[in-house]
Chains A and B, each alone.
Chain A
Amino acid sequence: DADVTQTPRNRITKTGKRIMLECSQTKGHDRMYWYRQDPGLGLRLIYYSFDVKDINKGEISDGYSVSRQAQAKFSLSLESAIPNQTALYFCATGQTDTEAFFGQGTRLTVV
């Protein structure tokens, strides 16, 4: 079983719909992150959380929200999806500043 599990792995949704991407981890790490990957743009940080009561915006948080339901769970929501949010989304966890263990990704398409 993967240490960092993302669901769903693939999703197609319509413009304006609300969608939630989920991430769970079995590594026992306090820190969890959501990144977005677009071709030619690398990985960009959306939100991050250092513990259950801590939520921080990353560099591209507009249009997204997150919830840290437990140490092991960190979900990303798109309240009203738009086509330019079509991307590959990665959850990551870590225990120190320099750790980032990534999940397998969720490919989201907004039509």
Chain B
Amino acid sequence: GQQLNQSPQSMFIQEGEDVSMNCTSSSIFNTWLWYKQDPGEGPVLLIALYKAGELTSNGRLTAQFGITRKDSFLNISASIPSDVGIYFCAGQNSGGSNYKLTFGKGTLLTVNP
């Protein structure tokens, strides 16, 4: 089945630093999604990418849909303590009864004030 490799597994950074994390896949996806999970909560969608090469921003977050459709990255600029959490990438291929939103294993982000 489809697998996503998300890296890094964890990051420890100082407040104000920029952060980058990425996902790669052995197969093509039509959609890439990035979620954030706060401690004790369910994941919440941050950014959705629908076209190869697409670059989308949401405040201090920027994500790109790789041109090969097999990868995506998420950047966080000028990190703040509330950025702490687990970030998940997810890839999806639309249509049919074989629906499956495949998640990466997550990147645990710790921000030191």
Find residues 38-84 in chain B having any chain A CB closer than 8 Å to their own CB. Answer: 40-45, 48, 50
A12 contacts chain B at the CB level, 8 A cutoff: no
Write out the residue numbers on chain B whose beta carbons fall within 8 Å of the beta carbon of A33: 101
Interface centre among A41, A45, A98 (most CB of B within 10 A): A98
A4 to chain B: which residues have CB within 8 Å?
42
Whether B94 and A98, one on each chain, are in contact in the complex, defined by CB atoms closer than 8 angstroms, is yes
Chain A residues with Cβ under 8 A from B41's Cβ?
A: 104-105
Contact yes or no, A105 B42, CB < 8 A: yes
Is A41 touching B105 in the complex (CB atoms < 8 A)? yes
A63-99 interface code vs B (CB 8 A; 1 in, 0 out)? 0000000000000000000000000001010000111
Query: Interface size bucket, B side?
Result: 20 to 34
Residue of B nearest to A107 (CB): B40
Interface size on A, residues (CB 8 A): 25
Q: Say yes or no: B103 contacts A43, CB within 8 Å.
A: yes
Majority secondary structure of chain B interface residues (helix, strand, loop or mixed): loop
Give chain B residues whose Cβ lies under 8 Å from the Cβ of A90: 42-43
Complex CA–CA separation, A67 to B107 (angstroms): 33
A34-53: which have CB < 8 Å to B? 35, 40-45, 48, 50
- B28 CB, min distance to chain A CBs, angstroms: 15
Residue pair A102, B97 in contact (C-beta under 8 Å): no
- Are A40 and B95 CB-contacts (below 8 A) given A97-B31, A102-B42, A102-B44? no
Interface residues of B (CB under 8 A from A): 1, 6, 9, 31, 33, 40-45, 48, 50, 88, 90, 92, 94-95, 97, 99-101, 103-106
Selected A-B contacts with CB under 8 Å, 5 pairs: A42-B106, A56-B97, A92-B42, A100-B45, A105-B41
What would 10 more interface pairs be, CB under 8 Å, given A90-B43, A100-B101, A105-B42? A35-B103, A42-B105, A42-B106, A45-B101, A50-B99, A58-B100, A97-B95, A104-B41, A104-B42, A105-B40
